[in-house]
Chain A
Amino acid sequence: MRFLTDRKRAIGNGSARQGTDHHWSMTVSSYGLLLLVPLFLIAFGPMLGASYEEVTAHFAKPFPAIVTALMIWVGMMHFKNGVRAVIEDYVHGFARELWIIIMVALSYATAATGVFAILKMAL
């Protein structure tokens, strides 16, 4: 019993039939963000420190509005899935579940707030 490994306990129970989805979601969002990050820096960067009128007019244009909204949404979903792996590595027991729930909620809340702000300026 003392030398029983996790693997030995798992043998015979069949496969979990899931597990690659997480890795695949990180891969897909990575490729998306590879394109979005430079576009976002171009669309968003010059607006820091600009006047209120300039900013609202800027984000009323299609390119800055769409790129920034996509960056926030895809970025926060990438964060939601990525931070889950970090939590699963370092936090255990109930605290782990709690932290995952907090981070999922925070990710959606941040993404929704960002997209709302863009929509309000764009429409």
Chain B
Amino acid sequence: MADVNRGNRPLSPHLGIYRRQMTMITSILIRITGVALLASALLVVWWLLAAATSPEYYVFVDSVITSFLGDIVMTLSVLGLWYHLLGGVRHLIWDQAAMLDIETAQKLGWTALIGSVVLTCITVALV
């Protein structure tokens, strides 16, 4: 019985026909930042491994990560990290069946978008 009828049933119209909405953009951004943060994690672990290996290797890896391009990547990583965190909080709130109405959901979306930028500025300035 399994999979006898895959792809042969009429399907309801899916994402393609909908006007882009803020709630769907903020939702997919959580996935995108989550996957992209793998690159950040690999860079951080590479840097730590270099520091645990030798002074010469550390200087090389540190110069890569603190180069102009490295700074851009690390700043975007912090932005992605804060966005993913705030977006995740939104889901933890929704898991409690709270704040699910459209207006509040949209406010939470804007909070995640603006909040992640603010927190990134604070992080870059202070840390």
Interface residues of A (CB under 8 A from B): 1-5, 9, 27, 30-31, 33-34, 37, 41-42, 44-46, 48-49, 52, 55-56, 59, 68, 72, 75-76, 79, 82-83, 86, 106, 110, 113-114, 116-118, 120-121
Contact = CB atoms under 8 A, between A and B. Distances in A.
Nearest to B66: A49
A33 B92 contact: no
A48 B74 contact: yes
Majority SS of interface residues in chain A?
Answer: helix
Interface string B22-41: 00000000010011011001
B52 A120 contact: yes
A117 B52 contact: yes
The 7 closest A-B pairs by CB, nearest first: A45-B127, A117-B48, A117-B52, A120-B52, A114-B45, A52-B55, A49-B66
Given A46-B127, A49-B62, A86 B31 contact: yes
B9 A2 contact: yes
Given A37-B85, A55-B58, A117-B45, A48 B65 contact: yes
B108 interface: no
B8 interface: yes
A77 B127 CA distance: 26
B72 interface: no
Contact of B48 (A4, A31, A118): A118
Task: Bin chain B's interface residue count.
Answer: 35 or more
Given A1-B5, A4-B4, A110-B41, 5 more contacts: A27-B95, A52-B51, A75-B41, A79-B38, A83-B38
A34 B81 CA distance: 11
B98 interface: no
A56 B51 contact: yes
A52 B127 contact: no
A45 B71 CA distance: 12
B41 A121 contact: no
Contacts of B42: 110
Nearest to A75: B41
Contacts of A46: 127
